[in-house]
C-alpha cells in the first residue's frame, strides 16, 4: 500500500486549521504534471493562541522531519522548503539542519531542502498559503486570488504541496503504522495549566479541560480553534470537538466589560489586515469605531460583519465574523 492510500485509510486531515483531507491534496499534487514542483512545510504558526508548531519542533522534530523527508522522496520536488516563523527559525535552525544532515545521506536530496525565515512583519497573514507563496517569491505581503489553488499552481506558478508541520508528523506516524488518531491541543488564557497536550482528536472540549485539570472554578467562556479565528462558546457548549488549529483559550466571564473581548479582537485585526480589500481594511476599522461608542449601533456593526463574510478577499477576513457572531450570540446573548 503506498503512502497516499495509507493516509486515506487513516483519514488524515490538514492540521493548519482548515482540516482539508490530506489524501485529496496529495492525490491532486501527484497527478498534476509539471517539470517543477515544490513542497512547503508550513511552520509559521500565525494564529495566536496556538503553540503546537513550537512544541513539535521542541519535542517531535525527528518525527516531523521523517514525514517531510518521506514526502520529498515520494514526490521528488524541485525544492522542499521549511517555512518557519521568525523566532522558530532563529531558535531551531541548527537543530533542524543537524537532524536533516544526519538523516539524509544523498547530497542531492539534502541540497534541495531549505529553511526559510518568515519575515517578522508578515504577522498574522504570513502563514496563509498564498501569502506565504508571495513571501517566498519576494512579493508584497498579501494574499493572492484563489483559484488557482497552490496544489496545482503555487510557488512560481508551479504545483506546490503545502502542509502544516503537524500534518507531516502524522504522515510519518501513518507510514510506520503508529498513528493513533491523536492531535495537539494548546490550552491557554485564564487557566492553571497552560500548555500543549496530545489527545485523541475526537475528545470534547470539556473532556480536555478536565483531563488537563484546567476546568475553571469561575464563570468563563472559551474560544476554540485559535484566538483570531476560533469560535466562541459558553460554558454550556463544551461537548463539541475542538476544531481549527486545536487551541482552547479560556476567558474569565466579565459581564460588565463585555465589549473588551471585541475591542481586543478588532484591534488585532486592524493591525493584521494587509489592507488589500475594502471590507477588511475599512470595515474592521469602522467596526472598531462603532464598538467604542457609548451607544453601539449593532445594526451597522452586523452589516459590516455580513460584508466581511460575503465579500472579504481572503479566508482571514472571512474568519472574523465567525468569532464576532459566536461571541455576540453565545456570550452576549444578542440576537443576530
- 268 near another protein (CB under 8 A): no
Out of 89, 149, 285, 298, which residue is the one contacting another protein (CB under 8 A)?
A: 285
Cβ at position 139, least distance to another protein in Å: 11
The smaller minimum CB distance to another protein, of residues 251 and 325, is found at: 325
Q: Stretches 11-19, 202-210, 234-242, 284-292: which one binds another protein (CB under 8 A)?
A: 284-292
Locus of grid cell 472574523: 320
- Bond preceding residue 314 cis, omega within 30 of 0: no
- 184 near another protein (CB under 8 A): no
What contacts 107, CB < 8 A, 6 or more positions away?
none
Cβ at position 297, least distance to another protein in Å: 10
Q: Is 198 helix (H, G, I), strand (E, B) or coil?
A: strand
Distance from the Cα of residue 14 to its chain's centroid: 9
Locus of grid cell 517578522: 120
Locus of grid cell 493591525: 271
- 130 near another protein (CB under 8 A): no
- 318 near another protein (CB under 8 A): yes
- 310 near another protein (CB under 8 A): yes
Strands (E), the chain: 38-43, 79-84, 113-117, 160-164, 182-189, 195-200, 220-224, 231-234, 247-252
Distance from the Cα of residue 110 to its chain's centroid: 27
Kindly give the interhelix angle for 278-291 and 298-311, rounded to the nearest 10 degrees: 160
Q: Stretches 20-28, 199-207, 247-255, 283-291: which one binds another protein (CB under 8 A)?
A: 283-291
In the β-sheet with 113-117, what is the strand arrangement from edge to edge? 113-117, 79-84, 38-43, 160-164
- 29 near another protein (CB under 8 A): no
Out of 313, 316, 319, 330, which residue is the one contacting another protein (CB under 8 A)?
A: 313
Cβ at position 242, least distance to another protein in Å: 24
- 330 near another protein (CB under 8 A): no
Task: Tell me the per-residue interface mask from 152 to 181 with another protein, x by CB under 8 A, - otherwise.
Answer: ------------------------------
**Interface ranges with another protein (CB under 8 A):** 140-141, 145, 270-279, 281-283, 285-286, 289, 300, 303-304, 306-307, 309-313, 318
Amino acid at each position: 500500500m503506498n503512502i497516499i492510500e495509507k493516509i486515506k485509510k487513516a483519514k488524515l486531515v490538514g492540521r493548519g486549521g482548515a482540516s482539508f483531507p490530506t489524501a485529496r491534496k496529495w492525490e491532486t499534487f501527484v497527478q498534476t504534471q509539471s517539470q517543477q514542483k515544490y513542497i512547503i512545510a508550513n511552520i509559521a504558526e500565525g494564529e495566536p493562541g496556538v503553540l503546537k508548531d513550537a512544541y513539535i519542533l521542541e519535542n517531535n522534530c525527528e518525527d516531523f522531519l521523517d514525514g517531510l523527508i518521506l514526502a520529498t522522496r515520494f514526490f521528488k520536488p524541485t525544492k522542499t522548503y521549511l517555512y518557519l516563523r521568525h523566532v522558530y527559525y532563529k531558535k531551531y535552525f541548527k537543530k533542524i539542519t543537524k537532524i536533516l544532515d544526519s538523516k539524509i545521506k544523498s547530497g542531492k536530496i539534502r541540497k534541495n531542502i531549505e529553511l526559510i525565515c518568515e519575515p517578522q512583519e508578515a504577522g498574522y497573514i504570513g502563514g496563509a498559503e498564498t501569502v506565504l507563496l508571495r513571501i517566498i517569491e519576494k512579493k508584497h505581503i498579501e494574499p493572492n486570488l484563489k483559484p488557482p489553488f497552490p496544489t496545482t499552481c503555487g510557488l512560481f506558478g508551479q504545483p506546490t504541496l503545502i502542509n502544516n508541520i503537524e500534518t507531516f508528523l502524522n504522515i510519518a506516524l501513518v507510514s510506520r503504522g503508529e498513528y493513533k488518531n491523536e492531535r495537539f491541543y494548546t490550552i491557554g488564557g485564564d487557566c492553571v495549566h497552560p500548555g500543549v497536550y496530545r489527545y485523541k482528536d475526537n475528545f470534547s472540549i470539556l473532556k480536555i479541560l478536565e483531563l488537563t485539570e484546567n476546568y475553571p472554578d469561575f464563570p468563563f467562556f472559551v474560544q476554540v480553534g485559535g484566538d483570531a479565528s476560533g469560535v466562541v462558546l459558553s460554558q454550556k457548549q463544551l461537548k463539541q470537538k475542538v476544531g481549527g488549529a486545536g487551541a482552547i483559550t479560556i476567558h474569565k466571564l466579565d459581564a460588565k466589560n463585555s465589549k473588551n473581548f471585541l475591542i481586543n479582537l478588532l484591534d488585532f485585526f486592524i493591525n493584521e489586515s494587509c489592507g488589500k480589500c475594502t471590507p477588511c481594511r475599512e470595515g474592521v476599522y469602522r467596526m472598531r469605531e462603532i464598538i467604542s461608542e457609548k451607544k453601539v449601533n449593532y445594526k451597522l456593526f452586523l452589516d459590516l460583519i455580513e460584508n466581511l463574510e460575503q465579500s472579504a478577499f481572503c479566508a482571514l477576513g472571512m474568519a472574523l465574523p465567525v468569532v464576532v457572531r459566536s461571541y455576540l450570540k453565545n456570550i452576549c446573548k444578542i440576537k443576530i
